[in-house]
Structures are given as structure tokens and as C-alpha cells.
């Protein structure tokens, strides 16, 4: 696993690649795996550039090869998260209903929490059923900032 750290408007972010795909994103407080080798690759440079464009509101959808490790159910949830449109949010129940099981909100929340590639897989777009922001590995301040960036940029196009 190659990892490189980049300073962004949401803090220092580590992006990791294995075998030609993005596999992980790390926030400053995250513990890094022991098998991580620090070094920049062509893919990590591209991921960093796309992340910068996204955070500036110039990119709404990433075009990177992603390979998150998880169970088949988790991968299904993460695929659903990628279908939540830029600048919009969905509740855990919304995602559960979209997946065909409206009672799976807690399982959706657990999979959302274990997303190894936050931002690129937009788990920040999932909120509580009462509209409140719920947990985020990067912290609720980062989640709010990501949502604000998307809402501001989405509104600028109208």
C-alpha cells in the first residue's frame, strides 16, 4: 500500500493506493496500517488533484478506480452512497429503502461508518432521519464543511 498526505481545506488527508486503485482515505487522527509505504504515485497525484477540485466545487464526481475492502453488503451500501447526488443528502432509512429493506437502517449506518474511502465514497451525504448530522470519521465539523461546499457550489449553478 502506497500512501501520500496532502494538505486540504478540510485538513491533512492521506490517500492510499494498492494495485492501481484507491483503497483508503485517512484523516489526521486515524491510525495508519503498518504495511503502508509513504510515497506518491501517479494515481495518488490524480486523486489529490480531483480532491482539490472537488473541495473547490469544480468537480462533482470522481473518476478514480476505487477498491474498498469490505463485505458484499458493505460494498453494496457504498455503491448506493455514490448514487446520492452531489449537493443532496439521504437518511440511513432512505438508503435502506433504496436497497430494498427499509428496516436495515442500523446495518446501513454500520456500513457507512466503516467506509474506508470517505469523501470519494460520499458517506458524508448520509444524515439522521430528523435531518441532523450524525457521526463521521473525520469529525462532524468536516462533514458539515463537505456538505456546505457541495450546497454552495450546487446553488451557484442556478
Please give the torsion angle defined by the CA atoms of residues 113, 67, 152 and 9, in that order, rounded to the nearest 10 degrees: 80
User: Which of 6, 68, 18 has the alpha carbon at shortest distance from 81?
Assistant: 68
Catalytic residue, chosen from 22, 84, 104, 123, is 123
Q: Long-range contacts: 51-55, Cβ < 8 Å, 24+?
A: 51/6, 51/8, 51/13, 51/15, 51/119, 51/120, 52/6, 52/8, 54/119, 54/149, 55/8, 55/9, 55/10, 55/149
* 135 within 8 A of 113, measured Cβ to Cβ: yes
Q: Is 123 a catalytic residue?
A: yes
- Looking up cell 493506493, which residue turns up? 17
Q: Provide the annotated active-site residues.
A: 123
Amino acid at each position: 500500500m502506497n500512501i501520500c498526505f496532502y494538505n486540504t481545506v478540510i485538513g491533512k488527508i492521506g490517500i492510499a493506493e494498492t494495485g492501481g486503485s484507491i483503497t483508503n482515505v485517512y484523516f489526521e487522527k486515524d491510525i495508519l496500517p503498518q504495511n503502508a509505504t509513504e510515497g506518491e504515485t501517479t494515481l495518488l497525484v490524480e486523486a489529490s488533484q480531483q480532491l482539490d477540485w472537488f473541495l473547490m466545487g469544480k468537480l462533482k464526481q470522481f473518476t478514480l478506480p476505487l477498491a474498498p475492502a469490505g463485505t458484499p453488503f458493505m460494498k453494496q451500501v457504498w455503491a448506493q452512497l455514490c448514487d446520492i447526488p452531489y449537493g443532496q443528502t439521504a437518511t440511513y432509512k432512505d438508503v435502506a429503502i433504496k436497497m430494498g429493506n427499509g428496516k436495515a437502517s442500523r446495518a446501513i449506518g454500520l456500513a457507512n461508518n466503516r467506509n474506508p474511502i470517505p469523501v470519494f465514497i460520499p458517506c458524508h451525504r448520509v444524515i439522521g432521519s430528523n435531518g441532523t448530522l450524525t457521526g463521521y470519521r473525520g469529525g462532524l465539523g468536516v462533514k458539515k464543511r463537505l456538505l456546505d461546499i457541495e450546497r454552495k457550489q450546487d446553488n451557484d449553478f442556478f
